[in-house]
Amino acid sequence: MGELLLIKHAPPEITPEVISHRWVLSAEGRARCGWLAEVCRSRGVARIFASPEPKTLETAALVAMALDLPVRPLDGLQENDRTGLGFVSAGALEARIAAYFETPEAVVIGGESARSVLTRFQAAIDLAARSAADGAVAVVTHGAAMSGFIAAHNAVAPLEVWRDLTLPGVAVMDASTYRLLEPLIPFPGPGA
Cα-Cα-Cα-Cα dihedral of 124, 130, 132, 133, to 10°? 180
User: Where do the structural domains in the chain lie, given as residue ranges?
Assistant: 3-186
Say whether domain 3-186 belongs to CATH 3.40.50.1240.
Answer: yes
Short-list 68, 82, 75, CA closest to 143: 82
CA dist 173 and 5 (Å) reads 6
CA dist 51 and 156 (Å) reads 24
Q: Mean pLDDT of successive 10-residue segments in the chain (192 residues)?
A: 94 89 95 98 97 97 98 96 77 91 92 95 96 88 97 98 97 97 93 68
Short-list 84, 95, 114, CA closest to 163: 95
The pLDDT score that the predictor gives to residue 90 is: 84
Q: Answer whether 0.85 is exceeded by the pTM.
A: yes
The pLDDT score that the predictor gives to residue 192 is: 67
The pLDDT score that the predictor gives to residue 48 is: 98
